[in-house]
Amino acid sequence: MLKSLALTLLLIAPSLVGADVFDKKNASLKALGPFYVRVNDSSQHECWTNSQETLVYAQDQLELAGAVVNRERNIVPHLNDGTVLGIYILADRFDGLCTGHINIQTEAFTRGKETAFGVIFYSRISVLVRDYDNLNNHILKYTKQAVAEWKAK
């Protein structure tokens, strides 16, 4: 039993945390702005209880880093209208433990007249987390990290 658990952890460990900035040379907060923050809450059983706080926190972090932020709407803008910091959470409670996937990515969309036909990803943080209470602090931590990666450039 212990050997199979160790083997399972060894196999999934590389996928527990992933962070990438795909275009370090050309992409910057000023070049990609204005920014919109989009929050997608697919959590259940009170695994994430501060999605509105996370939205405002992400907007504040972007502004502190020098980005222009549009706080008026939580939408997916056209490529020429700006960039999205998307915060996507999928989580549920199992045996009292919240287990979830946090995906925070900087993205832009190209559109035709009627539908989207392309997505450009500039950066991504993808992490699996677990907590007996909820994932609120984890989500704020990785939101801050996602913006800090841009500040470091």
CATH of the domain at 145: 3.30.160.670
Whether residue 97 is contained in a domain is answered as yes
* Separation between Cα atoms, residue 135 and residue 98, nearest integer Å: 7
60: in domain: yes
> Is 3 domain-assigned?
no
What whole-number distance in Å separates Cα of residue 109 and Cα of residue 1? 46
Asked if the structure places residue 106 within a domain, the reply is yes
Q: Which amino acid is at 57?
A: Y
Domain assignment present for residue 4? The answer is no
Question: Phi/psi class of residue 4: alpha, beta or left (left: φ > 0; alpha: ψ in -120 to 50)?
Answer: alpha
In order along its 153 residues, the chain shows pLDDT tens digits of 444 433 333 334 434 444 455 555 667 777 777 888 989 989 999 998 888 999 999 999 999 998 889 887 655 555 556 788 999 999 999 999 999 999 999 888 766 666 656 777 888 899 999 999 999 999 999 999 999 888 765
Buried b (16+ CB within 10 A) or exposed e, 82-106: bbbbbbebbbebeeeebbbebbbbb
Give how many domains the chain has, as a whole number: 1
Residue 32, phi then psi, degrees to nearest 5: -95, -10
Residues spanned by the domain of 85: 16-151
Tokens 């409670």 belong to 93
Partner residues linked to 93 by β-bridges: 98
Residue 9 lies in a domain: no
pLDDT of residue 21: 52
CA angle 34, 37, 39 (to 5 degrees): 165
Q: Is residue 79 part of a domain?
A: yes
* Three-class SS state of 147: helix
Residue 8 in domain: no
| pLDDT for residue 15 | 40
